[in-house]
Amino acid sequence: MAGAAAMFGCFMIYAFVGHFALDAENPMSTPTEGKVLIVFTCLFIVAFATTWGPLVWAVVGELYPARYRAPCMALATASNWLFNFLISFFTTFITDKIDYFYGLVFGVCCFFLFWIVYFFMIETKDRSLEEIDTMYVLHVNPITSASWDPRELGQDGMNGVGTDGMYLKAGGKDFKKTETGGAGLMVHDETRFPNASAPGAEAERPAPVSSTV
């Protein structure tokens, strides 16, 4: 959030100073304004390089459930490179039309980024990937997620979290250790795997095949 706010401020100053104060025809006649643009360009680079530049890849790596993490990261990386190309390709055409106001486009993106992080992204500092997955399954409030404690889940901990919230398939069943009397999370299906100790089980067992030499 701090990085998004800092980049937003740099973009606003860059756009308005460049459009209203800098002499585009003869930039040397407005040296102070030119220095302001250079300073805030460097400040933007610092803000980006220390926050969203590297951290976005950590966010992408932690955001998705383990089952979908690899394809989702691939799509995110491909989208990043696609938009890098589109921005570099169309920048010249856009600046020819709106000059330094082009910075407002990225400034508005940073403005929305600040609030998206505040309202929708949970705090993942010092948490395992399993804990992060559990927080999303439980719909932990992102605003208060920094104070979430996995010990609040009770004696079963994260193992007791139901799978229905993961939206893997409809009707998924959940068996907690406390409800199965210590039998674990595996449930024996007698229709597919008959119990060997049940009456008549020996009769259904196929006879061994003998080999003669």
Is the predicted pLDDT of residue 206 greater than 80, yes or no?
no
What does the pLDDT read at residue 19?
85
Last residue of a domain, one of 66, 97, 120: 120
Predicted structure pTM score: 0.65
Q: Which of 8-17, 57-66, 199-208 reaches the highest mean pLDDT?
A: 8-17
Examine the domain organization and report whether 35 and 96 are in the same domain: yes
Q: What is the pLDDT of residues 147-189, one digit of tens each?
A: 888 777 765 555 555 544 444 444 444 444 444 444 444 444 4
Examine the domain organization and report whether 9 and 88 are in the same domain: yes
Specify if 205 maps to a domain: no
Q: Are 110 and 11 in contact (CB under 8 A)?
A: yes
Examine the domain organization and report whether 116 and 21 are in the same domain: yes
Q: What is the pLDDT of residues 44-70, one digit of tens each?
A: 999 999 999 998 888 888 888 778 888
Is the predicted pLDDT of residue 81 greater than 50, yes or no?
yes
What does the pLDDT read at residue 164?
47
Is the predicted pLDDT of residue 109 greater than 90, yes or no?
yes
What does the pLDDT read at residue 1?
87
Say which residue the tokens 């597919």 belong to.
192
Phi and psi at 172, nearest 5°, equal -65, 140
Range of the domain at 86: 2-120
Q: Are 132 and 122 in contact (CB under 8 A)?
A: yes
Examine the domain organization and report whether 169 and 82 are in the same domain: no
**Which CATH number fits the domain that encloses residue 60?**
1.20.1250.20
Q: Is the dihedral of CA 49, 53, 59, 61 positive or negative?
A: negative
Examine the domain organization and report whether 140 and 64 are in the same domain: no
